[in-house]
Amino acid sequence: MQNFPAYTDTDLQSELSTLNLGPTHPATHGVFQNVLQLDGERIVSGVSTIGYIHRAFEKIAEHRPFYQITPLTDRLNYCSAPINNMGWHMSVEKLLDIQTPKRVDYMRVIIMELSRIADHIVCNGVLGVDTGAFTGFLYMMEHREAIYEIFEEVCGSRLTTNIGRIGGFERNFNDIAFAKIRQFLVNFPKTLNEFESLFNRNRIFVDRTKGVAPVTAEQALGYSWSGPILRATGVDYDVRAMNPYCSYEDFDFEVPVGTSGDVYDRFLVRNEEMKQSMRIIEQALNKIEKEDPNIFHADVPEFYLPPKEEVYNNMEALIYHFKIVMGEVKTPVAEVYHSVEGANGELGFYIINDGGRSPYRLHFRRPSFINYQAYAPMSRGMLLSDAIINMSSLNIIAGELDA
């Protein structure tokens, strides 16, 4: 266990000043409060205060049927809500022992990788903004819009998507959705290349990020970091590769790692991950073509709501509809932990079920919450302006932090 060193400087000014950074500071992109002790512009120590948007999701989840917990997961990491939705669905499917068809898995992979790209677009774009370059952010934002249009085509909403159902999707992807996904794969790489050529060797950007907030692999693992920021330190831990879920084992992709774990490495790792995500989406599109185009959910009538027209005209569908809505379906008494690779790291769902209509207890392992605790210790000795871009590159999402 290797901790970040305390900041000791014999030339300290006689008086330190206290700075309340946040909770609504425009530079922190979210509700984060850090009470910092400053010596001039250098941070001597800091304390993070969190919980400003705590909404007690774990408590609420104890009173909701499984399918109604999906909208709660939307509001964890709202920059990549579909990953949370599908992580939740897959956890419930693991609990209920539901096998999803390959086509459903591939559809999910497409949506999850698109949301990973959307999340990284925001993070890396904002990192650029914080170092003084607005252009890259605007270039990239256009393509996040394209991703949101795909989500809209698939499920009807954009930010908090509530996408998919237990067992699959609520409806099949239409041709427009597929066309938009293919169009995205054509358009986005050009912009990403442009973005990289704007930043990767940009003198100002490199000077501002290289060597800022370096983290060793030991420190990162000691703080239970996961996701791109852990991989930037050189640890190749990616849930998709290590414990493949949702048929990720069928795909050929690489897990990019950095070396020094500084802000610059995190930026590069995220850029590379977007490229890998596009590789995965392309493979998934090709694989989907070989599957039966009419399958978009598993055959689990006890958990998958039947279409409305069947409910009105078909006895069995009506019974299942009633049983699902009224919570009459038996679930196993069991506990299950399932994790997916969220955009920020290992997003885990720990369900303890007592056989009722809602979980007895549900715990979210939220990567932002766990990653953020290193922020105050690692800020010691850092310049205030470096601490700001360090926070941007950690990509802490307030919704996931406070749950």
Interface residues with other proteins (CB under 8 A)?
A: 1, 3, 50-51, 54, 56, 58-60, 62-63, 94-95, 219, 221-225, 235, 237, 242-243, 326-328, 334-337, 339, 346, 348, 350, 352, 360-361, 363, 365, 369-370, 372-374, 377, 402-403
Nearer to other proteins, 1 or 315 (CB): 1
End-to-end CA distance of the chain: 28
Q: How many CB atoms lie within 10 A of CB 180?
A: 20
Euclidean distance between CA atoms 346 and 365, whole angstroms = 8
Nearer to other proteins, 159 or 242 (CB): 242
Give least dist CB 317 to other proteins, A: 20
Give least dist CB 277 to other proteins, A: 23
Euclidean distance between CA atoms 111 and 280, whole angstroms = 11
Residue with tokens 């952010």: 137
Nearer to other proteins, 156 or 355 (CB): 355
Residue with tokens 């950007």: 205
Nearer to other proteins, 296 or 369 (CB): 369
Nearer to other proteins, 50 or 192 (CB): 50
Nearer to other proteins, 151 or 225 (CB): 225
Give least dist CB 112 to other proteins, A: 20
Give least dist CB 293 to other proteins, A: 32
Give least dist CB 45 to other proteins, A: 13
Give least dist CB 63 to other proteins, A: 5
Give least dist CB 370 to other proteins, A: 6
Instruction: Give Cβ neighbours of residue 156 (< 8 Å, ≥ 6 apart).
Output: none
Give least dist CB 50 to other proteins, A: 6
Euclidean distance between CA atoms 305 and 292, whole angstroms = 21
Q: How many CA atoms lie within 13 A of 296 on its CB side?
A: 17
Euclidean distance between CA atoms 124 and 140, whole angstroms = 9
Nearer to other proteins, 161 or 358 (CB): 358
Nearer to other proteins, 3 or 174 (CB): 3
